[in-house]
Amino acid sequence: MIKIYHNPRCKKSREGLAILEDSGQDFEIIKYLDDAPAKEELKSILDKLKISPVELVRTQEKIWKENFKGRSLSDSEVLDALHAYPKLIERPIVVNGQKAAIGRPPEKIKGIL
């Protein structure tokens, strides 16, 4: 089943959701701000995206700037931060089987449907 890690307050996330709705395929909406993904789930997403944990971070968020910017963090520490502060997770993320895409721009989602 296709999953979208969605933040309803984010314009790009809403655009990504619209792409999924228009596709006619079944999908699951995960409101990751309400239920932060576990570290293992984040690792699985990163493997599918083929990126490192820090590449999933919204580095312009106040939380990142105040708590983590300029620090040398291990991948595990970045994953801890993403779990503790899910607002730091880039959005939207769509996972379809073994493929995933960050919907920035939202059209990237079409490439994995």
- Catalytically annotated residues: 10
Q: How far is the C-alpha of 27 from the C-alpha of 96, rounded, in Å?
A: 9
| φ, ψ at 57 (rounded to 5°) | -85, 135
What does R_g of the chain's alpha carbons equal in angstroms?
14
What is the CA 57 to chain-centroid distance, rounded?
9
**Helix ranges (DSSP H) in 3-99:** 11-23, 39-49, 62-67, 75-84
